[in-house]
Amino acid sequence: MMKKILIISGIIILLIGMVFAYTIGQTITQEQFDNIDFSKISHDFTLVGFEKSPVNLKFYINWTTLKENIDGEWKVVQLTHTESYQTSKYILCRATNSKETCVQIVKDEIKERIKIKNKLHNRWLENQKTAEVYSEIDENDFIFNLE
């Protein structure tokens, strides 16, 4: 029974990996990019690592986004972002609260920062769209005499 569960889990992880690998590296044209509604994208933020030091608790977070390449097309990439939380803030929390409470406070703050980062990044992506007004600009519109 345990072997069946392990095999099924392995197959599921393999399938997820294959689907994920297909999307990373995919290229999107500017026209496709312009048609994406970035307000509804979460960028698949995933916690992939944690490190502690006397100064900071560091959270390493992978996220999927679009990056413009030289050809003017957009490529789906995965980046790693680091969020830090001051160890001293956690220690102060522990002076008056349980470990569970302080851990939850840290989690909530990191999640809130990620939500803000997601919103700001979506706004930046939205600003990278080719505005419809851009196509109406013609060099002949700006011929004028400087006298």
Reported as a single tens digit per residue, the pLDDT across 81-94 is 999 999 999 999 99
Residue 143 lies in a domain: no
pLDDT value at residue 90: 96
Residue 95 lies in a domain: yes
Higher-pLDDT residue of 48 and 139 is: 48
Within a domain: 37: no
Residue 39 lies inside a defined structural domain of this protein: no
Q: What is the pLDDT of residues 5-15, one digit of tens each?
A: 655 554 554 44
DSSP string for 80-146: EEEEEEEHHHHHHHHTTS-HHHHHHHHHHHHHHHHHHHHHHHHHHHHHTS--GGGGG--GGGG----
Residue 55 lies in a domain: yes
CB within 8 Å of 100: residues ≥ 6 apart: none
Element (H, E) at 32: helix 30-34
The answer to whether residue 145 scores a pLDDT higher than 90 is no
Tokens 């608790």, residue located: 57
Rounded-to-integer distance, Cα 53 and Cα 119, Å: 29
Residue 81 located in a structural domain: yes
Please count the residues of the chain.
Answer: 147
Q: Is the pLDDT of residue 57 over 70?
A: yes
Domain region containing 55: 49-130
Q: With respect to residue 135, please indicate whether it lies within any of the assigned structural domains.
A: no
Exposure string for 109-118, b = 16+ CB within 10 A, e = fewer:
ebeebbeebb
* Number of domains forming the structure of the chain: 1
